[in-house]
A and B are shown apart, each in its own frame.
Chain A
């Protein structure tokens, strides 16, 4: 089967700034693909070129087997694009809003109402979009992007300004969209989001793809230590050093750190450390944390991820 999206050595500059600087990747049918990176990494520009909103300076792009630029009316009904939550007609209710978008694609009002139900907005159908909460507006925005049943969905920072609860609710919806067989391409600057949702991620910075692969493989690939933390005050410094003992690696990040609130061990062999803590009945506030995509980013760029 041919790739849903194929990007080869694409470049785009704004004046002297190379926003996208030689990017290549492919997205397979049914895949949940994430483009990850800090603000200004070039992920939105990449997405805009895929959507057909901007022309690449060089390189080739193909979306569902077609070139997205210039604006291709044959391609538009097959892709769904979710922009910011505020991209609505003014002073329309949720139902009128999605009904208008539906008719632009020649989709019936009944299907539009169904879509409203799928994103859980039945009860808010007659509320004006200005009065919806951030999460509700985002759901409506996604519903408008999906109303014509596209094969490929683009989402630009879908959980951007949402509170943690609303983000989690939205994640369920996004997973469902992908489970229905749609290919989803999402940009995000939240590492945790990419880790949870995406089959594969491309980590971008300064217009380049630094790493590409399934999140778990990327995390495993950097071989970073597991962090085990407990509440401070349960162990003396001597005891802590004894627990850290042999297994704690000297990887330059400090074996044992105590900030007065949390005592943290960094180790590549968590089992002996955990056993040792259990023997000493020092497990209050225990947390075991493996490496995350943030560690991957740190490793790749040598700097902390600014989120």
Chain B
């Protein structure tokens, strides 16, 4: 491998990318705007109204409803359940904000601190219900116990950030590879490089290097914004495992772009096909619709989406606080995709348009 050639090719490509305003807008600016938008929109999600599971019968709620009909419904939606274990699992998963049960005169509120605003709201609401009941009847007729469930649920920013970042990396990798390949074939730069004493390896490595740099910049920008106090993403201790996940995701999506670019004849066709692949995947692979909240069928379909592994892999180590090993299955799947698609691309690769 010729290092001088590799270095100058990398520099030429980097300059070309940095000077390309459209590419900058699509790979950095738009994903960041999405992050700002979604991050702000879902920041205080459901804070004004909490969803509560009533486990068994909670007489206090009936009493409050009798006292002031309709008032309870304004601050909470109540679902009934007979099983405490299921209810707690739901709270843990973040499907409901709290589970409440009454044991004699003691009211037990189980809540999650995933979203602290909601948690505080839940506590305040029940504290005031108890207070009202107390002042109406005899003092201290009710006792309030709150219990924090084990925290496994995520704040919105913790799934929004990896999801949107996954989409940004997928787009950057796939579009970058596809458009470069088609464009170089169209302008015959591909042929010109073949006539220079420089190996295909150097050319490919320089292009992959560019995409990796772009993806790591995307990661840095996203983490920089999401960890601002306003958005409040807390990185867990093994967040750096997201770096290899991002690198492998970039390779996987570049291989998708390579395949698209091997077939597409024009830049327009390459863009259209890449869009056709990436956009549905963003919805079905957990980027735009978090898989925790997605309908079951989307969750099922997502296993076939390479994007799922990139998003979940990042989420596990960045936000869920899982150990470094939690990223390995995702890394394996992404590398496998990259390997298989690259092998297919090499077979259908064309140096020339005709």
Binding site for B on A (CB under 8 A): 51-53, 71, 73, 76-77, 79, 81, 83-84, 86-92, 96, 99-101, 103-106
A104 to B194, CA, bound (A): 11
**Residue of B20, B193, B197 touching A91 (CB-CB under 8 A):** B20
Interface residues of B in 237-283 (CB under 8 A from A): none
* Distance in angstroms between the alpha carbons of A84 and B188 in the assembled complex: 8
B191 x A100 contact (CB < 8 A): no
B197 contacts A77, C-beta separation under 8 Å? yes
Name the B residues within 8 Å of A96 (CB-CB): 12, 15
Does residue B183 face the partner (Cβ distance < 8 Å to A)? yes
CB distance A106 to B4 under 8 Å? yes
B5 and A83 within 8 A (CB): no
- Least CB distance, B156 to chain A, in whole angstroms: 38
Known: A84-B188, A100-B8, A103-B4. A90 touches B183 (CB 8 A): yes
- Which residues in A have their C-beta under 8 angstroms from that of B20? 90-91
With a cutoff of 8 Å between Cβ atoms, the chain A residues found around residue B183 in the complex are 90
Q: What chain B residues lie within 8 Å of A79 (beta carbons)?
A: 195
Report the bound CA distance from A76 to B8 in whole Å.
19
**Contact across chains for A87 and B196 when beta carbons are under 8 A apart:** no
By a CB distance below 8 angstroms, the chain A residues around B192 are 81, 83, 87
Question: Is B71 part of the binding interface, using a Cβ–Cβ cutoff of 8 Å?
Answer: no
A51 to B188, CA, bound (A): 14
Flag if A104 contacts B5 (CB, 8 Å): yes
Give every chain B residue within 8 A of A90 (Cβ-Cβ): 16, 20, 183
Please give me the residue from chain B that is nearest to A86 by CB atom. Answer: B187
Instruction: Give me 7 other A-B pairs in contact (C-beta within 8 A), A76-B195, A76-B196, A103-B5 excluded.
Output: A71-B194, A77-B197, A86-B188, A87-B189, A89-B12, A91-B20, A103-B4
Provide the residues of chain A in CB contact with B195, threshold 8 Å: 51-53, 76, 79, 81
* B346 CB–A CB distance under 8 Å: no
Chain A residues contacting B19 (CB-CB under 8 Å) are 91
Contact B8 A89 (CB under 8 A): no
The answer to whether B13 has its CB under 8 Å from any CB of chain A is yes
Distance A99 CA – B16 CA, assembled complex (angstroms)? 14
Evaluate contact between B197 and A99: CB separation under 8 angstroms: no
* Residue positions of B touching A, CB distance < 8 A: 2, 4-5, 7-9, 11-13, 15-16, 19-20, 183, 187-189, 191-198, 351-352
CA distance A86 to B183 in the complex (A): 11
The contact sample of 7 A-B pairs, CB cut-off 8 A, is: A87-B187, A89-B12, A91-B19, A92-B16, A104-B9, A104-B196, A104-B198
Chain B residue numbers with a CB within 8 Å of A105 are 196-197
Most buried by B among A52, A79, A91: A91
B194 and A92 form a contact (CB under 8 A): no
Within the complex, the shortest CB–CB distance from B27 to chain A, in Å, comes to 15
Task: Tell me the smallest distance from the CB of B187 to a CB of chain A, in Å.
Answer: 5
Residues of A within 8 A of B11 (CB): 100
Give the docked Cα–Cα distance between A91 and B352 (Å). 22
What residues on B are CB-neighbors of A51 within 8 Å? 195
Question: By the criterion CB–CB under 8 Å, are B188 and A104 in contact?
Answer: no
A100-B197 contact, Cβ under 8 Å, with A83-B191, A84-B187, A87-B189:
no
Q: Is the interface of B mostly helix, strand, loop or mixed?
A: helix
Q: Which 10 residue pairs spanning A and B have beta carbons closest together?
A: A103-B8, A91-B19, A76-B197, A104-B196, A100-B12, A87-B192, A87-B188, A90-B16, A91-B16, A89-B12
Distance (Å) between the CB of A121 and the closest chain B CB? 18
A74 (CB) vs chain B CBs: closest residue:
B197
In the assembled complex, how far is the CB of residue A204 from the closest CB belonging to chain B, in whole angstroms? 19
Expressed in whole angstroms, the minimum distance between the Cβ of B201 and any Cβ of chain A is: 13
Inter-chain contacts of A71 with B (CB < 8 A): 194
* B197 adjacent to A104 (CB under 8 Å): yes
- Inter-chain contact B13/A87, CB cutoff 8 Å: no
The residue in chain A whose Cβ has the minimal distance to the Cβ of B7 is: A103
Please measure, in the bound complex, the distance between the C-alpha atom of A233 and the C-alpha atom of B11, giving whole angstroms: 67
| Complex-state Cα separation, A105 to B352, whole angstroms | 23
Using A53-B191, A104-B8, A104-B9 as known contacts, say yes or no to A92 and B15 having CB atoms under 8 A apart. yes
A contact residues around B4 at 8 Å (CB): 103, 106
| Smallest CB gap from A51: residue in B | B195
Taken together as a complex, chains A and B put the C-alpha atoms of A92 and B197 apart, in Å, by 21
Q: How far is the CA of A77 from the CA of B195 in the complex (A)?
A: 9
Least distance between B189 CB and chain A CB atoms (Å): 5
Bound together, the chains give a CA A88 to CA B184 distance in angstroms of: 9
CB of B125, distance to nearest CB on chain A (Å): 58
Complex-state Cα separation, A73 to B12, whole angstroms: 22
- Nearest to A14 among chain B residues (CB) is B354
Q: Which residue of A lies closest to B13 (CB)?
A: A89
Cβ–Cβ < 8 Å partners of A86 in chain B: 187-188
Of A52, A77, A83, A99, which is within 8 A of B8 by CB? Answer: A99
Compute how far the CA of A81 lies from the CA of B7 in the bound complex, rounded to whole angstroms: 23
Q: Which of A52, A92, A104 has the largest number of chain B CB atoms within 10 A?
A: A104
Shortest distance between the CB of B41 and any CB in chain A (Å): 36
Complex Cα distance, B191 from A76, in Å, reads 13
| A105 to B9 Cα, complex, angstroms | 12
B11 to A: closest C-beta gap in Å = 8
Give Cα distance in the complex from A73 to B5, angstroms: 14
Contacting residues, chain A, for B352 (C-beta < 8 A): 53
When chains A and B are docked, how far (Å) is the Cα of A83 from the Cα of B187?
9
